Structure 1
Amino acid sequence: MKKSGDTHVNGEITPENNSDDSPKTTSNDITKKVQLKKEINLFNAVCIIVGIIIGSGIFVSPVGILQNVKSVGMSCVMWTVTGVFSTLCALCFAELGASIPESGGEYIYIKRAFGDFPAFLALWINFVIICPVNIAASSLVFATYILRPLYQDCEPPITSMRLLAATIIMILIAINCVNVKWATKVQVVITASKLIALVLIIVIGFVYLAKDGTENFKDSFLTSDYSAGALAISFYSGFWAFGGWSYLNFLTDELIEPHKNLPRAIIISMVIVTSIYLITNVSYFCVLSPTQMIASSAVAVTFAEHTVSVIAWIFPILIAVSVVGGMNGTSLSMSRLFFVGAENNHLPRLILTLIMQSFEEIFYLIEMMGFGFAILPIALPIVMFFLSVAILALTIKQKQSESLLALALMAMGIPIYIIGVAWSKKPKSFTRSVDYLTRIIQKILLLVPQDKDTAWD
């Protein structure tokens, strides 16, 4: 595969390779460019998607779904529905990514289809809601599982949880800033760890199933809540657990042969994740009753305590590592979205993830993020659009405070766009100050902007 030119990622610059028929050059006149490397192969891509999707969701969402639909049968149905819905969305993104092989995901697709302002709003929703809420919720879940063995008789202190959550966020951001290879290698290791944890749960669950563990599946739909509001909120809990199927599209410029590997990676990943999620939930119900699951803030740990109590301490570690994988994958992919947005002068200079940790209720974050996700698929095929609008309407009716907060954060994007993008004739003193601050940050972080077509010596 022909290399496009010099590459820069996190401070590394390499000379461009010349073809055999190009003029010979010396070391003094080698053309150099700053570009992202194509370093992600199909295996890495599958690990990234699976690592992002299988994060804290499968260890938290079973409770969120069960709390709303109130039965084992409907819980399994909702897992199937959210898996199918997510797969259909993923297939749409696979086609978009293969047709438009550019980093940026839905931001680029919306920009091409609908123009500058709608694309900015899509970027803004990811920036103020989806990305920070996702990482904040996951980091709190990570802290809960790490601290659980130390506070077996009570809930961990919220201050300790926030400090630990903030620490892991900073560590992951540092890894992603230093080298993309480090981030992808970390993702491969973590993906293997989380699959080991889920395989253990599945094996143990089916052992109990063979020992007449079918009690919870009798009359499994008897207590179901079929109300539209309950189904919509439980859908968001499941949809959050599948979140991440679109994130590889943010890394298209770094993917080897994106026309082939992007759709392949998405399809392979969704089949793996959906199958594992359904089987894992069956395993949970083979051991735990609905009452036990709802009462637990760490379902997998409670599962281990009821089955293999001697090695139950291993599960919080494996699950915490799994959650870190989702956060690492989100940081890796979302950073490229913001990178592309910055190239188009659409990125505000603000950090929100740590602020989102001030919300003590994890499910509040999940529901708010689900609202943000439902806004974005308007560029998808028409069937998915109507489904998303229906779920969105039900959520506004059922969860008004979360919906109003999400809408308020989205609406803030309008004045930001007017001031930051549409207002082209800003005072020179203001632009000079912004440029000066940008250069200082670039020097501190050893960063340079990516070159487009201009070469430099």
Structure 2
Amino acid sequence: MGDTVQLKKQITLFQGVAIIVGIIIGSGIFVSPVGILMHTKSVGFSMIMWACCGLYNTLCALCYAELGASIPQSGGEYIYIRRAFGDYPAFVCLWINFLLICPVGIAALSLIASLYILQPIFPDCTVPPLAERFIAICLVWFLIAINCRNVKWATRVQVVITASKLIALAIIIVMGIVYLAMGDGESFQNSFEDSDFSAGAIALSFYSGFWAYSGWSYLNFLTEELVNPNRNLPLAIMISMGVVIGVYLVTNIAYLAVLTPAQMVKSTAVAVTFAEQTMGVMQWLMPILIAISVCGTMNGTALSMSRLFFIGAKNNHMPAFMSMIQYKYLTPASSLFIILCLTLCFQSSNDIWFLIEMEGFGFASILTIVFAGQVWLRFKEPDLKRPIKVPIALPAVLCLVSLAVVILTFYQKMTESLLALLLVAVGTVLYLIGNRWTNKPDFIQSKITAVNIFFQKLLLVVPQENEKDLQWD
């Protein structure tokens, strides 16, 4: 049964590490890694906060490793919340990812990548908005097309992109070492002077660092396509977090070896400012490498999130055609097509950063529910096989910390948070109509069926074969 219509196990440990590292290391470390420095007001304290944020995200990743190994199904946090709390909380998680986290993130990143691709062409003037949007649209189309065509192509692209961004960081690190060897270490003298140890400064700097490390959970959306997930999922997460923490710390040291803290805080793109002072005529290379880095985050997000929507549709939380896969290429083309459409809509927004702040509130809310569900599952299903088992106090504490982040976000960004809650309310209405209203009139059901058939013919997608017929290549 080599031609079984199924998603196949073809993502290796190495590719899994590339996916996670490629998603986490996006634009932040290149463009504006100054949030922590700005709030802590000292080099020494900022480095401590970078390490603490990395440790916190690693602990979060450990909890996800337990959940992924215990419940080895694609869909990540959506599956874990559904297992713990049932149907509706899982739908809320899916809806937030569907409407905010995935398309908003890809739309914003595509515009950032486009800006840095065009920057060397327009070095002394503003990049034309029309050209910026055109390149952004082309990037999204290209990456979605690769994901629709072949999973191996998408993961290989991710490996190449991850290698490219690590090369860019290696250039920065080597330059920084050279400057340190030459004795340019003024930024590290009296490194804790003027530190702001107030609770507000710590909270805001933690908030900045928290998002700089986001992306470690995305491999959990691909568990069913991961080779030997019980071994490779936790290994990939731990290896990736170790690589990212080390790279972030060393890169910040390299920046400070060349730039003063004041220059970093004022810079709109630290890596570009760094290149201007160190790379001479080759400084044009850095914006291109930043763009490639951002494309890696876009590609990994599309690859991972399409599986989430695919699984959600199988549970009747999304239209039925989104639970189908392309009959020839065995990819979730329907979900990828919807991601493309939503992303193109958000690309036309005049205030994409407002949407990103809504996205942040949604993600922190999801984490709170996931960790609460992990604690509850210890009591609800004590006999569940857990190849990895963290102390129950860990998800309990992380739940409280995530809840504090939600409250802080709500306090700082009340308008965005309220709008996010309103969108959840709209999703609730759709959930009641689509999922709970089982006895729909024939004329409504026929329209729904017609839409599913239309997309099935348009995208050449078919229902996935039964689990009992599954044979992995």
Equivalent residue number for residue 199 of structure 1 = 170
Does the aligned pair in 2 maintain the 1:229–1:398 contact within 8 Å? no
Moved more, 68-77 or 255-264: 68-77
For 1:105, which of 76, 79, 85 is the aligned residue? Answer: 76
Does residue 356 of structure 1 match 2:346? yes
Greater shift in the superposed pair: 225-234 or 309-318: 225-234
Taking the aligned partners of 1:363 and 1:57, their CA distance within structure 2 comes to 14
C-alpha distance in 2, partners of 1:203/1:366? Answer: 33
* Deviation (angstroms), 1:180: 0.8
Query: How far off is 1:446 after superposition?
Result: 2.0
Query: How far apart are the structure 2 equivalents of 1:106 and 1:332?
Result: 16
Q: How far does residue 211 in structure 1 lie from its aligned partner after superposition?
A: 1.8
Letter in 2 for 1:247: Y
Matched-pair contact (CA < 8 Å) for 1:64–1:363: no
Spell out the pairing of 1:32-43 with structure 2 (5 A cutoff).
Answer: 33-43=4-14
Q: Which whole-Å CA distance do the structure 2 matches of 1:365 and 1:229 have between them?
A: 24
Q: Which amino acid aligns with 2:56?
A: F
* Cα distance, 1:61 vs structure 2: 4.3
Q: Are 2:116 and 2:288, in contact at CA under 8 Å, matched by a contact in 1?
A: yes
- C-alpha distance in 2, partners of 1:144/1:214? 32
Deviations 1:110-153 (A, max 9, x none): 11111000100111111112112221222122122112213333
Q: How does 1:308-323 map to 2 (within 5 A)?
A: 308-323=279-294
Quick one: distance in 2 between partners of 1:337 and 1:448?
18
Offset at residue 362 of structure 1 (A): 6.4
105-114 or 433-442, which moves further after superposition?
A: 433-442
The number of residue pairs the alignment matches comes to 427
- Note if 1:372 corresponds to 2:362: yes
Deviates more, 1:52-61 or 1:376-385: 52-61
Measured in 2, the distance between the counterparts of 1:240 and 1:343 equals 30
Question: For residue 399 of structure 1, what is the aligned residue in structure 2?
Answer: 413
DSSP 3-state at the match of 1:313: helix
Q: Against the structure 1 CA distance between its residues 453 and 47, is the aligned structure 2 distance closer, same or farther, given a 3 Å change threshold?
A: closer
Report the Cα distance in structure 1 between the residues aligned to 2:418 and 2:256, rounded to whole angstroms: 35
What residue identity is the alignment partner of 2:110? S
1:77 alignment partner in structure 2: 48
**Residue 453 (structure 1) shift:** 4.6
Measured in 2, the distance between the counterparts of 1:358 and 1:231 equals 35
Q: Determine the structure 1 residue equivalent to 2:92.
A: 121
User: 1:49–1:266: 8 Å Cα contact kept in structure 2?
Assistant: yes
The answer (yes or no) to whether the contact 1:103–1:337 under 8 Å persists in 2 is yes
Distance 1:61 1:370, change over 3 A: farther
Over the matched positions of the two proteins, sequence identity in percent amounts to 60
1:256 maps to a residue whose letter is V
How has the CA–CA distance of structure 1 residues 158 and 241 changed in structure 2, closer, same or farther, with 3 Å as cutoff? farther
Give yes or no for the alignment of 1:384 onto 2:398: yes
Query: Per-residue deviation at 1:35?
Result: 1.1
Give per-residue Cα distances to partners, 1:327-367, cap 9 Å, x unaligned.
10111011000100011111268643233334556654543
Structure 1 unaligned runs (5+)? Answer: 1-5, 7-13, 16-32
Q: d(CA) in 1 for partners of 2:79 and 2:148? A: 23
> Do residues 62 (structure 1) and 62 (structure 2) align?
no
Q: Quote the Cα distance in structure 2 between the aligned partners of 1:141 and 1:207.
A: 30
1:101 and 1:259 in contact (8 A); partners too: yes
Counterpart of 1:443 in structure 2 is 457
Post-superposition shift, 1:206? 1.4
SS at match of 1:156: coil
Match of 2:262 in 1: 291
TM-score norm. by structure 2 comes to 0.85
How many angstroms does 1:200 deviate by?
0.8
User: What is the distance in 1 between the residues matched to 2:200 and 2:423?
Assistant: 23
1:204-226 superposed Cα distances (whole Å, 9 cap, x missing partner): 11111222222222343444445
Distance in 1 of aligned mates of 2:200 and 2:128: 32
Deviation (angstroms), 1:154 = 4.2
- Asked if the contact 2:104–2:352 (Cα under 8 Å) also holds between the matched residues in 1, the reply is no
Give distance in 2, aligned partners of 1:335 and 1:329: 10
The alpha-carbon deviation at position 454 of structure 1 amounts to: 7.4
Partner of 1:23: none
Tell me the TM-score normalised to structure 1 length: 0.87
Q: Which amino acid aligns with 1:391?
A: V
Distance 1:427 1:234 in 2: 54
Within 1, Cα distance between the matches of 2:203 and 2:353?
14
| In 2, Cα distance between equivalents of 1:296 and 1:151 | 19
How well do the aligned residues superpose, as a CA RMSD in angstroms?
Answer: 2.2
Q: Which amino acid is the alignment partner of residue 237 of structure 1?
A: S
Rounded to whole Å, the distance in 2 between the matches of 1:390 and 1:122 is 19
The question of whether the paired residues in 1 share the 8 Å contact of 2:32 and 2:268 is answered with no
1:455/1:419 CA distance change after superposition, 3 Å:
same
Asked if structure 1 preserves the Cα contact closer than 8 Å seen for 2:81 and 2:90, the reply is yes
Does structure 1 conserve the Cα–Cα contact (< 8 Å) formed by 2:32 and 2:270? no
Aligned partners of 1:362 and 1:212: how far apart in 2? Answer: 42
Structure-1 separation of matches of 2:12 and 2:426 = 38
Q: Which residue of 2 aligns with 1:49?
A: 20
1:28 paired residue number: none
Structure 2 runs not aligned, ≥5 long: 323-337, 372-394
Paired residues of 1:240 and 1:366 also in contact (CA < 8 A): no
Greater alpha carbon shift after TM alignment, 190-199 vs 149-158: 149-158
Q: Distance in 1 between matches of 2:31 and 2:264?
A: 10
